[in-house]
Structure 1
């Protein structure tokens, strides 16, 4: 162990290497500094990115999106659709095994999909069309629909929000409102629970029983060929520590480098800076629609008019080469990137914001804004949000905690007096936000919506029209109509979009273009 790594270990910033890791050749262990600590293990319960990354390590889905977000069979071997489009029959690949050695069966699939449909934006939309899920035999099952839906493979391969991973039937039987705490999947890695240290380290071991598909890897699709024996996530909340560790070769990948340190990292010998996602990410300010003031749409419009995207993006992501203003809920530059209806909110209008806030009935009540500096851009943007809203007369209580606490609190539906919240800043991948079907923030289905629980029947009707559109022209028209409604009711404030690069040692190759970073196909030389 180098002096640098030993010093960090003694300071408690990274753990000492385990005996298992010490026994492996250096080129068989990948050491990663992820953007956040792993607290929630269930990717069907939580939509946060670190949990999704974890889920894709140990679980699989029936279909998977390629680098262009097109679905391909993953766990599915073959499928067919009835002529009337009202039933889909699927057969699983042979030889699928859970990490405990038990075969993956259709019973596991049916139980997993039902739980996912109760949790996720995409799953909830599919549930509106579903008339039933039936087991045919150990490897085959049928999805019956009440009306045709052409997006079934796309939905079953979703890599955003709460993802439709296949769990054991006993785990999938868990109440959808409670997280699963076991970690038995069928994916290319196994979760090493014995070496998991919250706030310090997460470890995954190669699954020797996993059989990858024969197709070349493309995004999340194709063969998930593991070329390493072990992946270690070392939690490094301090960006300077992560930057120094990367330059010293103590970690191989820094998943989300701090933008202000990028110039230093990019110039370092033996380090490369790249992008792994084709679409930019989106930043957002999310209000709680259950309680005043943001249960009134006028307060949400006031929030939009009080905020300048440039202030947030500059604070969060530094140099303008990494970000751009964009009023589209569905990401500028994506196939659905309309800004229809968002034009009035492109620049702040503080006088109008104050009038709307007064009309909403707001009288100076405390507004709790939760955030964290564990993800530095989010913490900096939260400070901008607090200052922007104070300018129009909001009594903002900005509270900082670790990111795990912030995301746990997001699920609290109670008032602030009972540990609830009014606002938080977060980010989401372009792959998540680019479609009305997958955008978790524009689901306004009340109790079925993501944290913040917006409720608007007209927006949901228009979102359904996008799914039902018979052709691409009709789908684009429906998307524009939906976007105009969203601009009127502001389920969240779009803060613009940005590119998030990653940094790696020059001897690391094979990082895939995908909605989140994945660790198959990667090798060290």
Structure 2
């Protein structure tokens, strides 16, 4: 196998051939007050309550804001909220909005909008559902104040500050009144930029313009919290599926930021003084498993997958440079404060095909093709798809590897049909490291059956432990419960882990204020040094 360095040199040789084409492709986008971004995928769903797709969330963070946001220390700070009064028993939260807030259409942001937005959010988001299960009442006090009353203690600001999943974005009441299963078409927002849905179609470059009605906070920016300033008049986000064309556009200055470059391309740019190659946000690599159709509705078949994964082998193939990855068997990550590798009771180390074959037989696997959804425009995930297809075949299974782009996969994953009838069995994915470090926010660990994330794991023991974790106040007690939860997950296997890795992000050297180490990429407070 060629090393990542050798592959990077090969990639670099193609850049000169792509540069001329890139200049032609992006020639009309070179505007002085425009930030130009190469998106990670094509945007197909604009509603952040309908989908948890990272592509959609990047879009949503530009045009919406939230009541609370997390700062760099993980503290939920008021954002659209001005203040929050919390009762001594943490069962009542009175939240007051900042004065003078407006939507992008000029309409005032009131508690009527907020309450309806939170109702739509809580019907879909995993953390929102946990809040809804404890909700006694949510009432309007006046146009700027509302109260949340609970049956038991719950950290409401932290829940409303959630970064991934279906974040609690604030929309106009008329928009948030849409059923959460229906995708919105009105993109009136509460954030620093605005988006004209009527003039855009999937596949086109997305154009965001400064929201003239947005009122940023005055406190210093810190991670997602604090001042969100729309420093560029326009942000253009282009989907460029060909990596060499994207790379050439970065080299020639036709693009400013490349959010998800293939590792080989990123490493090939390391010595270019005109660009910065930075580490992105760490993530937990995993395979999402469909629990409602055979063969992985049987835990023995899920266990077989663990015997097919050699974390060293798969990360060398998918990521390459070991600076960017490490093995990990903690369901709440090795980087997080609740992660506990010692709780993992499953297989570690080299693949064992004979054991995997034995377990598939015990699960009643009937030889039908196992459908793996393969996102070919996400290089690391594509390699993980190929890897699992190869490993399953070595264990005697039939495999149907179905190639598609990531945006198509996010539509396919909603199907609960049998794999032979348009459904699926597996696909590679990640869980962003911060949210993956807590039972409250780990989307794919939640095992609440029909209400669970795609794959629909269903395990009462996991859910009981998640509830106990949320109710616990003492940190030592939380850690004890988290260890028990990870031990249970290693037996039930809501998903299987492939280790942890950090992606690369590339941006032009004249860009400042950009933070590559965020769970979802945002572009407020970003400046060009010459400005």
Match in the other structure for 1:230: 234
**Aligned equivalent of 1:183, options 156, 180, 187:** 187
Counterpart CA distance in 2 for 1:198 and 1:53 is 15
- Aligned-residue offset at 1:200: 3.5
Q: Does 1:57 align with 2:62?
A: yes
Shift of residue 5, structure 1, vs aligned partner: 7.6
Which of 434, 440, 443 matches 2:443? 440
Stretches of 4+ aligned residues off by more than 4 angstroms: 3-6
User: Which residue matches 1:7?
Assistant: 21
Where does residue 394 of structure 2 map in the other structure?
391
Match of 1:477 in 2: 480
Q: What are the superposed Cα offsets for residues 232-286 of structure 1, whole Å, 9 maximum, x if unpaired? A: 1111111111111101111011111211122221112311112353xx1111111
Summarize deviations over 1:103-130 as a string: whole Å, max 9, x none: 1111111111111111111111111211
Q: What residue in structure 2 maps to residue 40 of structure 1?
A: 45
The equivalent of 2:527 in structure 1 is: 523
Between 192-201 and 442-451, the greater mean CA deviation after superposition: 192-201
Task: Give, in angstroms, the shift of residue 293 of structure 1.
Answer: 0.6
1:419 is aligned to 2:433: no
Moved more, 301-310 or 196-205: 196-205
TM-score (norm 1): 0.94
The answer on whether the counterparts of 2:22 and 2:249 sit within 8 Å (CA) in structure 1 is no
Distance 1:57 1:43 in 2: 12
1:344 aligns with 2:367: no
- Find the aligned partners of 2:276 and 2:365 in 1 and give their Cα distance: 50
Q: How does 1:23-422 map to 2 (within 5 A)?
A: 26=32, 28-149=33-154, 151-193=155-197, 196-277=200-281, 280-347=282-349, 348-422=351-425
Contact 2:79 2:225 in 1 (8 A): yes
Residues 15 and 201 in structure 1, CA contact (< 8 A), matched pair in contact too: no
- Note the 1:477-496 alignment, pairs <5 A: 477-496=480-499
Q: Residue 114 of structure 1: SS of its match in structure 2?
A: helix
Post-superposition offset of 1:340: 3.5
Q: Distance in 1 between matches of 2:418 and 2:184?
A: 26
- C-alpha displacement at 1:7, in angstroms? 3.3
Residue 8 (structure 2) aligns with: none
Answer yes or no: is the 8 Å Cα contact 1:195–1:201 preserved in 2. Answer: no
Whether contact under 8 Å (1:237, 1:375) holds in the other structure is no
CA distance in 1, matches of 2:397, 2:224: 44
In structure 2, relative to structure 1, the CA distance for the partners of 1:307 and 1:113 (3 Å cut) is same
* TM-score (ref. length: structure 2): 0.93
2:458 to 444, 447, 455: 455
Equivalent position SS for 1:344? coil
The DSSP-based 3-state class of the residue aligned with 2:266 is helix
SS of equivalent residue, structure 2 residue 269: helix
Partners in 1 of 2:264 and 2:386 — Cα distance?
17
Name the CA distance, whole Å, in 1 between partners of 2:225 and 2:43. 24
Over residues 50-91 of structure 1, what are the superposed CA-to-partner deviations in whole Å (9 max), with x where a residue is unaligned? 111111100011100112322111011111122332211111
Kept after mapping to 2: 8 A contact 1:112/1:164: yes
The CA distance in 1 between the partners of 2:120 and 2:177, in whole Å, is 7
Number of residue pairs the alignment of both structures matches? 511
Conserved? CA contact 1:69–1:431, under 8 Å: no
Alpha-carbon separation, structure 2, partners of 1:139 and 1:418 = 50
Q: Distance in 2 between matches of 1:249 and 1:275?
A: 20
Q: Which residue of 1 aligns with 2:503?
A: 500
Mark the runs of 5 or more structure 2 residues left unpaired by the alignment.
Answer: 1-16
**How big is each residue's C-alpha offset from its partner over 1:468-512, in whole Å with a ceiling of 9 and x where there is no partner?**
112100000000000000000111111111111211111000013
